């Protein structure tokens, strides 16, 4: 059962939680002018009360925020360092939960890859590239990169912590090394052969992203999967001038 806790010192008595809760867990105590938990067993952990609460006074025990794979380590780390001495941030800084979420995502990707291979004609590179280009378009635009090196730097930040990407460029030869990769870890755990459809999908996704951001054209020359790190050797071409 989920336990809903209201920090009465922090609560400002706005009663937004009473209105917001879809299952009417809260009621308002007019005398104390504070809300209280009336029907706790009705709570199903949607967290809409803690979202709307202006004082962030509501916490849940026994309910987890949905698989939080979108959390980025920078923000979690910052939150923990902003509030030393409290336990409040421990539930959002849960790395185990994050790993579960990545595994979840990995299994979904594997089945999507299988669908493309067996039912939709197996056009993995095209699918990956298109997805990468769309990704580049949809990401929030901040520091607009000016050179290819800047694009690479940005990408290695952007893909962390799911992937630890290292880029080295020698003339027109680009080497992409992936040290941690959640797909590889999942493949090893599930006994799936490395260098398969998902790796092709991943590479093309990255190439599509890098290509869209920099205008460069990338051509995959060789792919060397390994149990500690994978390497992709890529030839780069200058952007086409129109």
Partner 1 sequence: MKAKVSTEWLSGCSGCHIAVVDLHEKLLNLVDSIEFVRIPVLMDVRDYPKADIGLVEGAIRSDHDREAVLKMRESVDKLVAFGTCASYGGVSGLGWLYKDDAILSKVYGGLPTTTETERPQGAPVLEHSVIPIDEVVEVDVHLPGCPPHPYYIAQAIKVLLGEEGAVMPAGTVCSQCNRKMVKREGVAFKKGAVTAPEKDICFLSQGVICLGSVTLERCRAQCTNKGVTCAGCTGPSIAVVTEPHLDIRSMVAKRMSLLTDIDENEILDYMAKEAKTFYSYALSSPVVYKKPTVEIREWVGEK
Question: Rule CB under 8 A: which residues touch partner 1?
Answer: 7, 9-10, 12-16, 19-20, 33, 50-52, 54-57, 70-72, 74-76, 78-79, 81-86, 88-89, 92, 140-143
Compute the least distance from the CB of residue 143 to partner 1, in Å. 6
Backbone phi and psi for residue 89, each to the nearest 5 degrees, phi listed first: -90, -5
**Beta-carbon neighbour count of residue 163 at 10 Å?**
19
Q: Which CB atom, from 22 or from 54, has the smaller least distance to partner 1? A: 54
Strands 34-37 and 26-29, by their bridges, are: antiparallel
Q: Which CB atom, from 11 or from 187, has the smaller least distance to partner 1? A: 11
- The residue count of the chain comes to 242
How far apart CA 152 and CA 156 sit, in angstroms, is: 6
Q: Which CB atom, from 1 or from 144, has the smaller least distance to partner 1? A: 144
Backbone phi and psi for residue 125, each to the nearest 5 degrees, phi listed first: -60, -45
How far apart CA 69 and CA 88 sit, in angstroms, is: 19
Compute the least distance from the CB of residue 152 to partner 1, in Å. 15
Compute the least distance from the CB of residue 46 to partner 1, in Å. 14
Compute the least distance from the CB of residue 76 to partner 1, in Å. 6
Q: Are 135 and 205 in contact (CB under 8 A)?
A: yes
Any idea of the CA torsion for 191, 197, 200, 203, to the nearest 10 degrees?
A: -60
Compute the least distance from the CB of residue 48 to partner 1, in Å. 11
Q: Which CB atom, from 82 or from 171, has the smaller least distance to partner 1? A: 82
Q: Which CB atom, from 49 or from 127, has the smaller least distance to partner 1? A: 49
Compute the least distance from the CB of residue 51 to partner 1, in Å. 7
Structure tokens at 198: 């998902």
| Conformation bin of residue 2: beta by default, left when phi > 0, alpha when psi is -120 to 50 | beta
Q: Which CB atom, from 125 or from 145, has the smaller least distance to partner 1? A: 145
Strands 3-6 and 58-61, by their bridges, are: antiparallel
């Amino acid at each position: 059962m989920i336990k809903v806790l209201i920090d009465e010192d922090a609560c400002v008595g706005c009663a937004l939680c009473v209105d917001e809760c879809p299952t009417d867990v809260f009621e308002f105590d007019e005398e104390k002018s504070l809300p209280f938990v009336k029907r706790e067993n009705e709570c199903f952990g949607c967290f809409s009360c803690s979202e709307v609460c202006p004082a962030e006074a509501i916490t849940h025990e026994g309910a987890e925020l949905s698989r939080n794979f979108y959390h980025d380590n920078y923000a979690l780390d910052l939150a923990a360092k902003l509030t030393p001495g409290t336990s409040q941030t421990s539930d959002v800084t849960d790395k185990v939960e994050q790993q579960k979420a990545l595994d979840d995502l990995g299994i979904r990707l594997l089945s999507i890859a299988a669908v493309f291979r067996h039912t939709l004609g197996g056009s993995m590179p095209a699918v990956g590239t298109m997805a990468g280009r769309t990704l580049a378009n949809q990401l929030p635009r901040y520091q607009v990169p000016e050179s290819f090196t800047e694009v690479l730097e940005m990408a290695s930040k952007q893909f962390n912590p799911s992937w630890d990407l290292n880029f080295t460029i020698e003339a027109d030869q680009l080497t992409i090394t992936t040290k941690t990769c959640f797909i590889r870890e999942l493949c090893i755990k599930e006994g799936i052969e490395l260098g398969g459809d998902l790796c092709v999908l991943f590479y093309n996704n990255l190439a599509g992203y890098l290509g869209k951001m920099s205008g460069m054209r990338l051509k995959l020359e060789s792919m060397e999967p390994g149990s500690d790190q994978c390497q992709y050797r890529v030839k780069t071409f200058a952007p086409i001038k129109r």
